Structure 1
Amino acid sequence: MKTKVYKVERWNPEPHIIAEAAYAIRSGKLVAFPTETVYGLGANGLDDGAVRKIFAAKGRPGDNPLILHFASSEDVEQVAYVNERAKLLMDSFWPGPLTLVLPAKPVVPNSVTAGLGTVAVRMPSHPVAMALIKVAGVPIAAPSANRSGRPSPTEAASVLADIGDDVDIILDGGATDVGLESTVIDVTGPSVVLLRAGGMPVERLEEVIEEVKLVPDEAKKKRSPGTRYRHYAPLIPLLLWKNGVLRHSPLVMGKRIGYIGIKEPPFPVEEKILFKTPENYAQGLFLAFRTFEKKGIEVIVAEWPNSKGIGLALRDRLSRAAEEEL
C-alpha cells in the first residue's frame, strides 16, 4: 500500500484533503493526523474491524484501551453516560489535552474499551484534528501514531518512519504543541482519579473540581492507555539524572552520550539539547529521543524535572522510557 502524505495548512486545512481523509475514516481505513498533544492514528471508533487495524499497525496489545475523539462535548453522549462532574470538566477544559474515562454505552466496540465497561473520550484543540472529526461524522479512535512502546510522534516524519506502510493517509500539519499525550482522569467514581499525567496539569483541574487522586490502584491503571511500564522508549539506553545522582553511571563510560534537560549537563557530553522551560522540555522530549538515535548516540542522559505543572507528565514519560520507578 502506498501511503498518501498531505501537507495541510494548520489553521485552514484544505477542504478537499480533509474530505478525502474523512472518507477514508468512514471507509474503515487508517488516517494519521496531528493533535495538540502528539500525532494520532485514527480509525472509525464505532467500526470494530477498523479499530483492529490500529492494533495491528502499532503492534499494540489488545487489552490496552483506546481514546475516542470528538468534535463536540454533546457528541460524547453517543458512546458514554456523562455525569455532571464530566460536564463541568468538558465545559472548563475542552477542547484541550484532557481525556475523561466514563461508563461506556453498548454501541462502543470491545476493541475500543478492552472489555472494561468504560470508554476514554476527549475533544482535541488542533484545527486539523477538529476538521477531520467534524467531516468524518464519527468518533475517531486514535492512540499515538507509532509502533507500540516507541516515543510518540510529534511530527509527520516520525509517523512515516514508524508505521508509514500501514497507514492510508498521513495529514502533515507540522509539529505538535504540547509534545506529550493528554492527561487521563477517571470520573466514574466518588473521587477523581489520575490514570495518566499529561498535557493538562493537575493543578489546573483542581481549580474547578475537588482534589485529584494521584496514585490509582493497578486495576484502575488498566483503564488508561499509555500506562504499561515500558513505553515511550528510544532504541538506546536512557538514564535519569536525579537530584545530582546518575544511577547506572558505569553505563556511560566510553560511550557517545546525548543529554537533554534544562540545566547544563553534569559532565562532558557529545551532544546536548537544552530547553528553556519545562513546557519546552515536554514539547521536544520525544523528538530529542529520535534525533539522538539518528546521530548514533549510544546513551541518553535526561534531567529529572520538577513535578509541578507539565513536570509530572514529563516524569511519567521519562520513568517509563528508562524503566525506572517514579
Structure 2
Amino acid sequence: MAERLKATPEILEVCKEALEQSQVIAVPTETVYGLAANALDLSAVEKIFKIKQRPFYDPLILHIDSIEKAQLFCQFNSLAEQLAKFFWPGPLTLVLKKKPIVPDLVTANLDSVAIRSPQHPIFQKLLKILPFPLAAPSANPFGYISPTSAEHVETSLGDQIDIILDGSNSSIGIESTIVDARNPEKLAILRPGPITQEMLEARLKIKVCSIDSQADSTEKHPLRGPGLLKSHYSPQTPLELISLESLLKLAQNEKGVGNALLFLKKPSALNSFPSPVQKNIYWLSEDGLDLNIAQNLYRQMRMIDAKAYDRILVERLPTESGLYSALTDRLKKAAYS
C-alpha cells in the first residue's frame, strides 16, 4: 500500500531515488495530482500505462522545471518562447515538434510532444533535483475523475504504487490548458483550461482558435495531448447536465430523491426544499465564482460518485467564456456516453 509522505528535503531524495530506479510515484501539481515516472525510461513509462490502464495512443505530458530544460526535448519557436515566458511555470502545456531523445511511447508515435513547467512548489523542487523530465498524467484509472488530493490518489491507486508525495489539495483543480504551438503563425487550443483563450489573446495580441473552430472540421486530428477524447473525467454514476430551472424544479419536489442534484452555487432556497431531497443537494461554491467551482469540481464529483445515486444531475454552466470553457469541457466529457 502506498505511503503518503510530506515533502521534506529527505523525502524528496527518497522520491528521486525511486524515480531513478524506474518506479512510479504520485506527485502534487497545481492542477491535479500526477502519476510520475522518468520520461526517458521506457520500462518506467510502460508502468504508467499499465497502472492507469491507459491506451498507448493517448500521449503523455513531459514536465520540466525551466525553459532551458524544455528546449532539450522539443523545438522551440518564437511563439513557444513567448508563451513559456508569459505563462511558465503554470498550467499551460505546449505541443511542439519533439527531439529524438523523447521516446515514441511518451508521444504515441507522433512527431510532437506535449510539455509544461508546473507551478506547484513541491513538484518544482523535485524536478530541479532530477536529471530527467517526468511524464505525469493524472493519478487515476484512465477515464475516471482526476484526483485533486493525496487521499484521492490513495483511494484509486494506493495498492499499485509505493509513494504518494502529499502536497495538500490542488490549488486550481482542473487540468492544464493545452495549446498547439508548432506553427508560430497560428496558435490553437486543443484542451481549454486555467489559461483561457481571453488570457492568451490579451497577452499575445493575436487571434487564438480552438480545435473545434479549425477550418476543416471533418479532418481526422491525432491526439496531440491527453484529455482530448469525447468521454473522459467520468464518474461511474451516470452524469447529466441540465438547466438551473430544471434542477430547481427537481429540488422542490420529491422527484429529486434518488438523484444527486449538483448546483454551481449554494441554493438560496435550500431550507425550503423537501427534507428527503435536501440530503441530495450539493454545490460547487458558496459564491458562484468560476475559480471556486474549478477547485471543488472533481472533489464533489468523487464524493457524490461514492454514494451510489442513480444519476448525478449537474447545473449547466451559464456561458462558455473564460474559465467556464474549461469547466464545460470537463462536464460534457464526464456526461458523454
Q: Report the TM-score, using the length of structure 1 for normalisation.
A: 0.91
Letter in 2 for 1:297: Y
Closer/same/farther in 2, CA of residues 244 and 116 from structure 1, 3 Å limit: farther
Q: Does residue 1:238 correspond to 2:248, yes or no?
A: no
Where does residue 271 of structure 1 map in the other structure? 281
1:220 positional shift: 3.6
Alignment of 1:81-96 (within 5 A): 81-96=75-90
Gaps of 5+ in 2: none
Query: Residue 302 of structure 1: SS of its match in structure 2?
Result: strand
1:211 is aligned to 207
Contact map agreement 1:57 1:166 (CA 8 A) in 2: yes
Which of 193, 196, 204 is residue 191 of structure 2 equivalent to? 196
How far is the alpha carbon of 1:258 from its aligned partner? 3.2
Deviations 1:201-254 (A, max 9, x none): 1111111221111225564461120111111011111111247457xx9xx765
2:85 is paired with a residue whose SS is: helix
Q: Does 1:28 align with 2:22?
A: yes
Match of 1:309 in 2: 322
Aligned: 1:105 with 2:99:
yes
Measure, in 1, the Cα distance between the counterparts of 2:150 and 2:72: 31
What's the CA shift for 1:138? 1.1
Q: CA deviation at 1:265?
A: 9.1
Structure 1: how far apart are the matches of 2:220 and 2:41? 27
The change in CA–CA distance for 1:131 and 1:38 in structure 2 (over 3 A counts) is: same
> Given residue 45 of structure 1, which amino acid in structure 2 is its aligned partner?
A
Aligned CA RMSD, in angstroms, stands at 2.0
What does the per-residue CA deviation read over 1:279-317, in whole Å, with 9 as the maximum and x for residues that have no partner? Answer: 111111111011112333332111222222211000000
Q: Which has the larger radius of gyration?
A: 2
**Do 1:262 and 1:278's aligned partners in 2 also have CA atoms closer than 8 Å?**
no
Preserved CA contact (<8 Å) 2:237 2:308: no
CA distance in 1: counterparts of 2:78 and 2:259, whole angstroms: 53
Whether 1:128 and 2:116 are equivalent positions in the alignment is no
From 20, 28, 34, give the equivalent of 1:40.
Answer: 34
Distance in 1 separating the partners of 2:226 and 2:321: 22
**1:147 is matched with which residue: 141, 151, 176?**
141
Partner SS, residue 227 of structure 2: coil
Conserved in 1, the CA contact under 8 Å of 2:284 and 2:297? Answer: no
Q: Helix, strand or coil: the match of 2:27?
A: strand
Q: Which runs of 5+ in 1 are unaligned?
A: none
Structure 1 residues 295 and 26: CA distance shift in structure 2, 3 A: same
SS of aligned partner of 2:231: coil
1:3 equivalent in structure 2? 2
Q: Deviations over 1:128-174 (max 9, x none)?
A: 11011111221000000000010000001111111112222101111
Confirm or deny: 8 A CA contact 1:259 1:273 kept in the other structure. yes
Q: Are 1:168 and 2:162 matched, yes or no? A: yes
1:263–1:303 contact (8 Å) kept in structure 2 = no
Q: Distance in 2 between matches of 1:79 and 1:265?
A: 52
Decide whether the 8 Å contact of 2:231 with 2:336 is kept in 1: yes
Greater CA deviation, 289-298 or 189-198?
289-298
SS of the residue aligned with 1:160? Answer: helix
Matched, 1:283 2:295: yes
Aligned-partner SS, 1:145: coil
Contact 2:35 2:137 in 1 (8 A): yes
1:259 to 242, 257, 262: 262
Q: Distance in 2 between matches of 1:242 and 1:73?
A: 43
1:259-283 residue CA offsets vs partner (Å, 9 max, x unmatched): 1312639986422124121111111
Write the letter of the residue equivalent to 1:264. Answer: P
CA distance in 2, matches of 1:257, 1:150: 18
Q: Detail structure 1 runs of 4+ shifted over 6 Å in the superposition.
A: 265-268
Identity of aligned residues (%): 40
When structure 1 is superposed on structure 2, of 61-70 and 128-137 the one drifting more is 128-137
